[in-house]
Amino acid sequence: MDGNGRWAKLQGRGVNYGHRAGVRAIKRVMYACDDLGIPNLSLYAFSTENWSRSRREVGGLMRLFEETVRKEFDELHERGIRVFISGRREGLSPHLVGMLEDAQVRTRDNRKGTLNVCLNYGGRAELVDAARRLVAEGVAPEAIDERAIADRLYIPELPDPDLIIRTANESRLSNFLLWQSAYAEFYVSPTLWPDFAKPDLEAAVAEFQTRERRFGGRSGPA
């Protein structure tokens, strides 16, 4: 989700105003996913690098995360969505961590779809954490294969993403789902995240449907 700051600037407002508009876009996109039959949605909400932003912006984002969980959780739960939170807990307030853990536990048996919120998330940090777990568990070097690593990612239950959408015209992965995105299709949308809506998602999905996915294989006669 990119472009909140640029969107706010266009309105002559501060960046936190843009982040608030970004939350409204999340709600729209979740409904659009439901309509389009997309069961699993991951959102990159805050990266391990985002701490370098101003105290004011980081503080505003943290308050917004708490407020959003408080206001939106019941509806998510009622809709049968299972919530996952990917990322490091360190650095987040104990209050927020408690809310996030609670959201994960309370929605554990929901089966209608999943929402994976990547918060204080970095793809490299996730791989470092997986390596630490392998060592801590005493896994022998010869026993380490792709499955062994995949099983130690933050949310091993989630399938790899089919499609990664980046908004606001940026064409970088920026440390998002590095392991899981190995064969994901990548789509760059010019729309700033707060303006992102169902037609933008439909455009991304339509483009995705034209892609030929070979997963390293060859299509047609060699």
Which residue of the set 34, 40, 50, 110 is catalytic? 50
* Contact residues for 41 (Cβ-Cβ < 8 A; gap 6+): 29, 30, 33, 113, 114, 115, 116
Position 6 contacts ligand IPE (CB under 6 A)? yes
* Partner whose footprint covers residue 204, from Mg ion, ligand IPE, none (CB < 5 to 8 Å by kind): none
Among 2, 185, 195, 200, binds ligand IPE (CB under 6 A): 2
Nearer to ligand IPE, 123 or 134 (CB): 123
d(CA 78, CA 107): 9
Tokens of 136: 């801590």
Of 42-50, 91-99, 118-126, 143-151, the segment contacting ligand IPE by CB under 6 A is 42-50
Position 50 contacts ligand IPE (CB under 6 A)? yes
Known catalytic residue at 160: no
Known catalytic residue at 50: yes
b/e map 184-219, b = 16+ CB within 10 Å: bbebbbebbbbbbeeebbeebbeebeeeeeeeeeee
Task: Report the candidate in 116, 184, 122 with the shortest Cα–Cα distance to residue 156.
Answer: 116
d(CA 46, CA 65): 10
Rule CB under 5 A: which residues touch Mg ion? 2
Position 1 contacts ligand IPE (CB under 6 A)? yes
* Partner whose footprint covers residue 45, from Mg ion, ligand IPE, none (CB < 5 to 8 Å by kind): ligand IPE
Site for ligand IPE, rule CB under 6 A: 1-6, 15, 45-46, 50, 168
